[in-house]
Structure 1
């Protein structure tokens, strides 16, 4: 993080969301940036280095200035939902059980193949 990326004052920052990965936090951060809302990620290094347990450590926190909090919440609330659909699945290549919401097998990196019920 460069000095230009540092929040102006930690006391004026509010967490607008907590995300399981740097990727998801970065997507939301990009949307906020497009709307002219500066944001900062907290715990991104820990979550990135320990990605397999990142959510257990609290995830990546996305913070905005206190003065932008309401507008940021509205922007995030108006985004299309990304709720997990479907259920856990079994990898067709290696047989590993994979949690719902993941499209790639954690064990062999095979892509999910939707199978008829």
Structure 2
């Protein structure tokens, strides 16, 4: 008698695919992955307030997806990291706030980025 491993169960396990620098970046990545049609979740978001009280590595914010969607999600991450590395940060023409390269709107006043 042969025994078969049920691969369906493992395909729907949550796996970590990205460790973000902070909660803001985690939510940007989450939005990109969800825009790609992939269900995902942010883990560790609530622990950010405890930094200093608990070790940094235990308070990291990460993104998780189902194992079956890992390959597609990693393709989205590659694109995100390429844009992040190649695009310069920008200063809002309205309020002069410094914004990261991945922001399309000013985080302070919501003015659209002028390319």
When normalised by structure 2's length, the TM-score is: 0.55
Q: Tell me the C-alpha RMSD between the 2 structures.
A: 3.2
Unaligned runs of 5+ in 2: 1-9, 86-99, 101-115
**Aligned equivalents of 2:14 and 2:44: distance in 1?**
14
**Aligned equivalents of 1:54 and 1:17: distance in 2?**
21
**Aligned equivalents of 2:29 and 2:53: distance in 1?**
21
Aligned length: 76
SS class of match (2:56): coil
Aligned pair in 2 of structure 1 residues 53, 34: CA closer, same or farther (>3 Å)? farther
Q: How does 1:1-117 map to 2 (within 5 A)?
A: 12-47=13-48, 49-50=49-50, 56-58=56-58, 59-79=60-80, 80-83=82-85
Unaligned runs of 5+ in 1: 1-8, 84-101, 103-117
Which structure's residues are more often helix, by fraction? 2
SS class of match (1:78): helix
Shift of 1:57: 2.8
